[in-house]
Amino acid sequence: MTVERAIFAGGCFWGVEYYFKRAKGVLSTSVGYTGGHKDNPTYQEVSYDDTGHAEAIEVTYDPTVTTYEDIAKLFFEIHDPTQVNRQGPDVGEQYRSEIFYLNDEQKKIAEKLIQELKAKGYRVATKLTKAGSFWKAEDHHQDYYLKTGGTPYCHRFTKRF
């Protein structure tokens, strides 16, 4: 089976994971940290130190069932891509909206979707950055809402496409 990966940062990684876990064609998710300058950061460091990392999610999906474009559209519809360094009540650089593209095709698709949103009047703050290292978060952060039975407090689905 062929699998592909995508990496997104859209605020608290628990809420982003909650929606991606339910998406058609998604095989697995891992929450973690990326985009910063500290190797193997901890949640505490990302939350309170200047690591430069964002809370992010790595999505593994089956490209015969879904596409990167569909996955990226979902990303834009489960968080507010117009907010800078925050999502709802969560404030800080670690909660920024950013797509970490793994290849030129992902970058082109993300650029196209951002232009579509801007054409609809959205002031998109989402950054596009070439992916670097993805550091998996501590085990208790993985599948957080599945483990706790909770639901996201700062993410909700909003149809934008």
pLDDT for position 142: 96
Q: Mind telling me the catalytic residues?
A: 12
- Residue 45, pLDDT > 90, answer yes
Coil, strand, or helix at residue 98? strand
> Phi, psi (5° rounding) for residue 66?
-140, 170
One of 3.30.1060.10, 3.40.50.10440, 3.40.50.720, 3.50.30.40 is the CATH number of 4-148, namely 3.30.1060.10
Q: What pairs with residue 127 in β-bridges?
A: 98
Q: What is the pLDDT of residues 119-158, one digit of tens each?
A: 999 999 999 999 999 999 999 999 999 899 888 888 999 9
Long-range contacts of 65-70 (CB under 8 A, 24+ apart): 65/24, 65/25, 66/23, 66/24, 66/25, 66/26, 68/4, 68/6, 68/105, 68/106, 68/109, 69/109, 69/113, 70/24, 70/25
Bridging pattern class, strands 97-101 and 127-130: parallel
Look at residues 85, 101, 83 and name the one whose alpha carbon lies nearest to residue 93. 85
Whether the CB-CB separation of 160 and 80 falls below 8 Å is answered with no
Residue-range domain boundaries for the chain: 4-148
Per residue in 52-65, pLDDT (tens digit) is 999 999 999 999 99
Whether pLDDT at 83 is above 90:
yes
